[in-house]
Amino acid sequence: MYRGELIDKIEKLKREKNAVILSHFYQRPEIQDIADYVGDSLELSKIAQKTDAEMIVFCGVRFMAETAKILNPKKKVLHPNPESGCPMADMATLEGVRKLKEEYPDAVVVSYINTNADVKTVSDIVVTSRNALKVVKSLKEERIIFVPDQFLGGYIAKKVPEKEFILWKGFCPPHFNLSKEALLELKSKYPDAKIAVHPECNTDTVEIADFVGSTSQIVEFATTCEGDTVVIGTEVGIEHTLKKKNPNKRYLFPQAADYCGTVYCCDMKKNTLEKILDVLEKEINEVILPPDVMEKARIPLERMLEVV
C-alpha cells in the first residue's frame, strides 16, 4: 500500500473509532507526523491520563503503553508492536527490588518511568528524566533506592548530596554507547556549538554538556538557544521534530560505539505505519495487565503526578 493510502486509512479509522495517537520523539518520522501528540514520557503520560478519546494508540515502547493503561484503565490502549520493549526497563526485576527493600527498610523506592509494571507495584514514587530532581527533592526520606538507571540516578544524586542513593546498575544501551570523546570531536570542528544531552548518557558524557534534560527539554533548548549549531546527545529520531521546529539550525548527531554507529533505539523503531493501521483495524495488541498490578502500579505514578 502507498504511504498516502496508509495515512488516509489511519486518519479515517482514528476518526471513526475516536482514537488518539501518541508518539515519542524517537519514533519514525512518519509516525511523529500522523500523531496527535509527540512528547516526552511525562507529557505523554499526562495526555494519556486526561484524554477523552475512547482508544489510545501508543507509539513508544511497552512501559509507555503500560503507563497509559495504568493511568487511564477504562480506555482501550493499543500498542502497534508489543515486541517494542525497553532493554533498560527489563534490567530491573521485582524480586531484586524486593530484596533491596529488605536490606534498606528505611529507604524509599524511586523508580524511573522506564520500568515494567511489576516493578512499579513495589515502588513508592515514579520519576521521569524531566522531573526526577524535583520529585527526589520533595521526598522526606534520606535514603533512596533508585531503579533502574544508574546514570540518571547518579546525575540526580550529585545534585542532592544530602541524600544517600542506592543505585540499581541498569543503563540504556544506546545512550551508554555515546562517549564524551565523540562529543568533543564535534566540538573541535564546531567550537561554538552547544551540547545538549539526555541524562541516560554515561557520567563523563553528561559532565561536558551545556544542557541536560528530557527529550522534550532538549527540543526546547536546541531550537531556541543562541547560536546556529547544537550537538545532540540523544536518540536520532528526535532530529525530525528539531528540524520541523527550527529548520534554520544545524543539529549534529555524534557517532556512538553502537552497531548502528549512532545513538539509535531499535525498539523504538519497531512500530510502523502498517502496524498502526493493523491495530486500529483489528483492535489487536491491546495492553492488558492484571487488575491488582494496575492498582498497585498506579499509586507511585499518581504520586509523581501530584508533585509535577
Provide the binding-site residues for ligand 13P, judged by CB under 6 A.
40-41, 114, 128-130, 172, 198, 200, 214-215
Q: Which residues pair with 111 in a beta bridge?
A: 126, 147
Cell of 77: 490502549
Backbone angles phi, psi at 196, to 5 degrees: -120, 130
Report the length, in residues, of the chain: 308
CB of residue 205 vs ligand SF4: minimum separation in angstroms? 14
CA distance from start to end of the chain = 43
Instruction: Say if CB 238 and CB 26 are below 8 A apart.
Output: yes
- Which of 237/300 has CB closer to ligand SF4? 237
* Residue 214 touches which member of ligand SF4, ligand 13P, none, C-beta under 5-8 Å by kind: ligand 13P
CB of residue 301 vs ligand 13P: minimum separation in angstroms? 14
- Which of 85/278 has CB closer to ligand 13P? 85
* Residue 267 touches which member of ligand 13P, ligand SF4, none, C-beta under 5-8 Å by kind: ligand SF4
> For the residues of 215-250, what is the DSSP string, one character each?
HHHHHHHHHHSSSSEEEEES-GGGHHHHHHH-TTSE
Binding site for ligand SF4 (CB under 6 A): 61, 86-88, 114, 172-175, 200, 235, 265, 267-268
Query: Between the CA of residue 100 and those of 58, 68, 103, 208, 298, what are the distances in Å?
Result: 32, 27, 5, 32, 21
- Which of 107/172 has CB closer to ligand SF4? 172
* Residue 41 touches which member of ligand 13P, ligand SF4, none, C-beta under 5-8 Å by kind: ligand 13P
CB of residue 152 vs ligand 13P: minimum separation in angstroms? 9
- Which of 10/267 has CB closer to ligand 13P? 267
